[in-house]
Amino acid sequence: MKDLTNKLYRNHSLAYKILLFVSATFLIVYLFPKSGKFKYSFEKGKPWQSENLYAPFNFAIKKNQSEIDSEKEAVNNNAFLYFNLDSEVKPRIVSKYLEALKEVIVDSIPTSDFETITATGMRIIEELYEYGFLSEKYNFKDARNVIILEDRVEKFRTTYSNLVNQENLTTILNNALREDNLVKYKNLFASLFFDIVEPNLTYNKSFTESELNAELGKISYTRGSIAKETLIISKGEVVEGDKFQILKSLESEYESQVWNESNYYWIVFAYTLLVALALLMLLLFLRKYRLSVFEDNTKVTFIFFNILLMVLLTTLVVNYNSQYIYIVPICILPLVLKAFFDARLGMFTHVLTVLLLGLIVPNNFEYMFLQIIAGIVTILTVSELYKRANLFISVGQITLIYIVAYFAFFIIHEGSIEAMHWETFGMFILCGLATLFVQPLIYAYEKLFGLVSDVSLLELSDTNTKLLKELSNVAPGTFHHSLNVANLAEASANEIGANAMLVRVGALYHDIGKMKNPTYFTENQSTGINPHDELSSTESAKIIIDHVINGIEIARKHNLPDRVIDFIRTHHGTSMVYYFYMKEKEVNDTIVHSDFSYPGPTPFSKETAILMMCDSVEAASKSLKNPTSSKIDTFVENIINKQMVTEQFLNANITFKEIQSIKKVLKHKLANIYHLRIEYPE
């Protein structure tokens, strides 16, 4: 048991990656829609490219959306409107009318016209309440069928145009008075009827909607069926009309809920295999080509987290409405990975993620083509992400590529631009705007995962930062030396294509440990007094060597990123403090070499190797007497060759050709620094 525990402890990093791999696989599969996939690809109006297709089982032919919409519209137009009738209103209105007429007859109406007026009024009431008087005007078409309910029982049927509302009252009054030659009593009738008339019909909205939903529920979404083994389409036959609809029905049947229930575990198993293969390829890529990333569990977790995030966003959109699929800013993934790692890793991860998403999105070939092309454009165009203008320009180019590629695909599918879905272009613009969110996202990732991007490096390169200001005050010579090394290192990095911003920042901070004992370093001894004269060689060597450890402690105290601390740790590698070593050797034959050697490690990247070369060359160049071009060349060659002989670059992925290029840059820069000007006459 103890052996097993020890073995697990020794391999805890690998065990963590296996756990991460398994967890990520099951999370992605969990997020995926669990449906079967139709194994054939087809397009309307194009020939069927596969073999003759026979129905694998019995299935119904589904109506297309336009047919269903047309039937729903017909049901909506022909559905009955239901109104409740209050049968007590009409008798009450008749009674009110007769009473009101008696009150005004003495003063306003001659006795000879009373019977005519009474009869006309009764006829108007009959006309108003023949079908019913509405409580308000509704926005229904006149031809809509109406059912009048009395005590929830159908009384009669009519059309909406026959129902009277307040707006019709004046017209009915005027027509009746003209027919009976009673126009002179127009004001009398108007005042009477507008006072006494009240509605007897109210719209029964709930019952109407209930009946409408019942009718809509009767709509059949299928028309006919296809029996098993029936020939659906032959090879080379054009996919159109009924053939297209039958194929869409078969495709839908494969992805239906019935299919899910009967084959759920097989589908999950198949998805698990595909996702596991994709993630395994990513881990193998990291192990073979990005070993430093593979060995860092935080970085591997970060990459898997970003893949999961893209899958989550995409599946949420697919489940909500797949037509919004292009709003998801997939290009954030290569942007983020390029910012923290490199372009090749960003592109590889992006392609694998798009392949995974191709399993669940509609029109998967079109989707994958668009996203992979957009990812390539992202990698090629986005450089120096810390410059805001670069990001905006790159996002504009990515959006343009989306639009152009989608435009081309649409023409291939439809053969014209008449039915172009212009709103999709708006989605691409929204996707571009969402991609701009990468800046705050990078900042959040830096805090969550302890990573560092070029944006943070730019901030650290500012010589007005608190730590660099303290260095310039406490150890001005060291600060000036660091600036010179930064300039040399940046030029060298640009020459061989290394990360110039990273190596510049590393150079600025590599000697901050000298702040603890600044006067023990030559560049800070302005008074001419050397405190090493009072110490033994071993003590002096220890103080010199300790500036590396002190630098790491100061860096951690000021929360400098690990990528920057690596430069402090490695800028002397395992080299010796040669001056004090030789001084001690003169008086002591039994020297402990470790007392005069830096603890290491040696540089393990191009950038840390560049800093070691530039630091040694710049520091030693101060000892040059009467420098000439040949002296400088020999001087640079000797220093860097000695570092190579002592295997300081053994773990750095830097080539001999790149080292030669760096030597050339350093020689040129030093020649410019020590160039003698002519003496001007006074």
* 652: Cα within 13 Å, side-chain hemisphere: 28
Q: Cβ(318)–Cβ(360) under 8 Å?
A: yes
pLDDT band of 343, cuts 50, 70, 90: confident
Is the domain defined by 454-673 classed in CATH 1.10.150? no
Write out the two tokens for 235: 């090879």
What was the pLDDT predicted at 17?
92
Rounded-to-integer distance, Cα 124 and Cα 128, Å: 6
Burial zone of 206 (CB within 10 Å; 0-12 exposed, 13-18 middle, 19+ buried): exposed
Helices (H), ranges, 382-475: 388-414, 423-435, 438-449, 454-460, 466-474
The DSSP symbol for 385 reads T
Write out the two tokens for 468: 């660099």
Rounded-to-integer distance, Cα 650 and Cα 643, Å: 10
Write out the two tokens for 183: 């126009």
Q: Cβ(239)–Cβ(43) under 8 Å?
A: yes
Read off the pLDDT of residues 359-400 as tens digits, 9 standing for 90 and up: 888 777 888 898 899 889 888 887 666 566 777 888 888 888
What was the pLDDT predicted at 507?
95
In the chain, domain spans? 2-36+259-419, 74-215, 454-673
Q: Cβ(134)–Cβ(163) under 8 Å?
A: yes
Residue 47, φ and ψ in degrees, nearest 5:
-65, 150
pLDDT band of 679, cuts 50, 70, 90: very low
**Rounded to 5 degrees, what angle do the CA atoms 542, 545, 551 make?**
125
pLDDT band of 676, cuts 50, 70, 90: very low
Three-class SS state of 253: helix
Q: Averaged over 425-440, what is the pLDDT? A: 84
Read off the pLDDT of residues 136-151 as tens digits, 9 standing for 90 and up: 888 888 888 999 888 8
> Is the pLDDT score of 553 beyond 90?
yes
Q: Cβ(532)–Cβ(579) under 8 Å?
A: no
Pairing between β-strand 231-233 and β-strand 153-159 as defined by DSSP bridges: unpaired
Most confident of 91-105, 254-268, 506-520: 506-520
Q: Report the residue count for the chain.
A: 682
* Sign of the torsion angle spanned by Cα atoms 619, 624, 627, 630: negative
Q: What pTM, to 2 d.p., does this model score?
A: 0.63
Rounded-to-integer distance, Cα 251 and Cα 232, Å: 12
Q: Write the CA distances from 116 to 113, 173, 176, 182, 581, integer angstroms.
A: 5, 14, 12, 9, 137
| CA proximity to 336, closest of 459, 432, 436 | 436
What was the pLDDT predicted at 385?
61
Stretch among 7-11, 179-183, 305-309 having the lowest mean pLDDT: 7-11
Q: What is the mean pLDDT of the chain?
A: 83
Amino acid at 398: I
Stretch among 78-82, 186-190, 640-644 having the lowest mean pLDDT: 186-190
Read off the pLDDT of residues 466-488 as tens digits, 9 standing for 90 and up: 999 999 999 999 999 999 999 99
Three-class SS state of 678: coil
Following DSSP, what letter does each residue of 180-237 receive, concatenated? TT-GGGHHHHHHHHHHH----EEE-HHHHHHHHHHHHHT--SEEEEE-TT-EEE-TT-
Rounded-to-integer distance, Cα 129 and Cα 169, Å: 11
Q: What residues pair up with 525 in beta bridges, in sequence order?
A: none
What was the pLDDT predicted at 308?
94
> Is the pLDDT score of 442 beyond 80?
yes
Q: Cβ(377)–Cβ(397) under 8 Å?
A: yes
CB proximity list for 132: less than 8 A, separation 6 or greater? 83, 85, 148, 163, 164, 199, 200, 201
CB proximity list for 487: less than 8 A, separation 6 or greater? 669
Q: C-alpha 326: how far from its chain's center? A: 10
Q: Which residues of 413-434 are buried (b: 16+ CB within 10 A; e: fewer)?
A: eeeeeeeeeeebbebbebbbeb
Residue reference for tokens 């006459």? 681
What was the pLDDT predicted at 674?
72
Residue reference for tokens 């409740």? 84
Read off the pLDDT of residues 35-56 as tens digits, 9 standing for 90 and up: 656 666 676 777 776 778 888 7
Question: Looking only at Cα atoms, what is the longest distance across the chain?
Answer: 152
Q: Averaged over 277-306, what is the pLDDT? A: 92
What was the pLDDT predicted at 28?
92
Rounded-to-integer distance, Cα 271 and Cα 33, Å: 10
Q: Cβ(89)–Cβ(198) under 8 Å?
A: yes
Greater confidence, 384 or 226? 226
pLDDT band of 680, cuts 50, 70, 90: very low
